[in-house]
Amino acid sequence: METDFSATIPDADDAENRLSFRRLLSAAIELRASDVHIDPSTTGFTIRMRIDGMLVETTRLDQKAGQRLTNQLKAEVGIDPGRNFTPRASRHSYKIGDSELDIRITLVPCVSGEKIAIRMLDPDRVMHRIEDLGVSKDGLQHFREWLGGLTGMFLVSGATSSGKTTTLYALLHELAERKQHVLTIEDPVEYEIDGINQIQVGRGHGLDFASGLKSMLRLDPDYMMVGELRDPETVDVAARAATSGHTLLSTIHARDAVSTVTALRNYGMTGNQIAVTVSVIVNQRLVRKLCTHCREKEAITDNERAWLEERGIRPHRDLWTATGCKECLNTGYSARTGIFEVWRLNATDYDMLLSGADERNIRRVLAQNHHESLVADAWKKIESGTTSLSEVRRATGALRADDWQL
């Protein structure tokens, strides 16, 4: 997608093609960008920003202006102005206007020059309450029941950049307010939460998730959050911690709630361990919200109808669609929300896990018990005009139609 935002960064248009580092940061805040990329090429520099998850080109600078911006950035953050030959990353705090901004800068030498990536760590963007995530009323009820009893594992699954961490942080906020002893191990710690002890693991910190989790257990926490279950060792320690009565939150890579069980089995958990320890599995994606200033209804196409019907949904004649206006920078979308599948495991589910039931059988039983799939939740948000069908298709690309065809 290419949208011309040069008007939004006025300095880039002036006679000297002068764009200051601070002006770039405030433009990124105005545009709600999560990342800024400054990419060198033989002809100049391209600046791109990630807005609502999509990468858009915002401006181009000639060699001189681009080099000036790069040098200014290095001076601001204290990096040697000469050409560097090793990648480096650093974290900085800025006051831009009224807001405090944390940024993480990564500088990587490329053939054509130094590529710079800036991650904007604005806490307001990730600090949601569970009510603001986009979870349905029934789903939210499962969240609250778990928070009421607080036992076993609460797992959030999805693909990369599906908002899993935001959901965990929202739950951590609930726990922090209860004055409980909460420990997290994360790679990296992106947002600090008052009242919670956060431990950073990963390269350069001499700790991995498995060893971090082991030392965490000795600190006697009420609740624990592990950034990600991504290897058999971590899953093994997590399973043993949960079996011995600890409450644990984590994320895991899986395409839907039921396949999360398969992911756990592949990491070595037995059906018995899963049944004893797992309380709630959430699966989610992020979708862009339609711009309320310009969204319009359009007749559904045969292809769209077929896609929905394959997933057991009978669509109406018209669907909301994005057109684009000044308010949404011509993208048709503004901000994002989540689509969710929330599975609170019950006695029947535990019996199925103990008997080693496969994914197809588990889905069949869940569907009979009115379980809401990810696409079913998404459909409600399409019907209400919160998002578009094309956006949901993009976000759920990896889900097969027959996953929920019974």
For Zn ion, the binding residues (CB under 5 A) are 291, 293-294, 325, 327-328
Task: Tell me which long-range contacts 63-69 makes (C-beta under 8 A, separation of at least 24).
Answer: 64/17, 65/12, 65/16, 65/17, 65/18, 65/19, 66/38, 66/40, 68/18, 69/19, 69/20, 69/21, 69/24, 69/38, 69/45
User: Looking at beta carbons only, is 291 or 395 nearer to Zn ion?
Assistant: 291
CB of 334 to Zn ion, least distance (A): 7
User: Looking at beta carbons only, is 91 or 293 nearer to Zn ion?
Assistant: 293
User: Looking at beta carbons only, is 190 or 391 nearer to Zn ion?
Assistant: 391
Phi-psi bin for 20: left (phi > 0), alpha (psi -120 to 50), beta? beta
Q: Which amino acid is at 219?
A: L
CB of 315 to Zn ion, least distance (A): 23
Three-class SS state of 367 = helix
User: Looking at beta carbons only, is 53 or 195 nearer to Zn ion?
Assistant: 53
Distances (CA, A) of 238 to 95, 276, 349: 39, 12, 21
Tell me the chain's radius of gyration from C-alpha atoms: 23
User: Looking at beta carbons only, is 296 or 327 nearer to Zn ion?
Assistant: 327
CB of 33 to Zn ion, least distance (A): 18
CB of 28 to Zn ion, least distance (A): 20
User: Looking at beta carbons only, is 234 or 331 nearer to Zn ion?
Assistant: 331
CB of 294 to Zn ion, least distance (A): 3
User: DSSP state, 179?
Assistant: T
CB of 321 to Zn ion, least distance (A): 12
Taking a C-beta distance cutoff of 8 angstroms, is the pair 288, 350 a contact? no
Question: Would you state the structure tokens that stand for residue 303, as one six-digit string?
Answer: 């292809």
**Whole-angstrom distance, CA of residue 178 vs CA of residue 181:** 9
CB of 5 to Zn ion, least distance (A): 14
Q: Which amino acid is at 318?
A: D
Phi-psi bin for 218: left (phi > 0), alpha (psi -120 to 50), beta? alpha
Taking a C-beta distance cutoff of 8 angstroms, is the pair 281, 248 a contact? no
CB of 297 to Zn ion, least distance (A): 15
**Whole-angstrom distance, CA of residue 188 vs CA of residue 204:** 11
Distance of CA 366 to the CA centre of its chain: 26
User: Looking at beta carbons only, is 103 or 294 nearer to Zn ion?
Assistant: 294
Question: Would you state the structure tokens that stand for residue 163, as one six-digit string?
Answer: 């908002």
Phi-psi bin for 386: left (phi > 0), alpha (psi -120 to 50), beta? alpha
Taking a C-beta distance cutoff of 8 angstroms, is the pair 28, 36 a contact? yes
**Whole-angstrom distance, CA of residue 186 vs CA of residue 198:** 7
Closest chain position to Zn ion (CB): 291
User: Looking at beta carbons only, is 319 or 353 nearer to Zn ion?
Assistant: 319
Please list, in sequence order, all residues whose beta carbon lies within 8 angstroms of the beta carbon of residue 355, skipping any fewer than 6 positions away.
271
Question: Would you state the structure tokens that stand for residue 311, as one six-digit string?
Answer: 């997933």
CB of 54 to Zn ion, least distance (A): 15
Instruction: For tokens 């018209």, name the residue.
Output: 318
User: Looking at beta carbons only, is 162 or 334 nearer to Zn ion?
Assistant: 334
Instruction: For tokens 């102005």, name the residue.
Output: 81
* Alpha carbon distance, N-terminus to C-terminus of the chain: 37
User: Looking at beta carbons only, is 159 or 328 nearer to Zn ion?
Assistant: 328
CB of 49 to Zn ion, least distance (A): 18
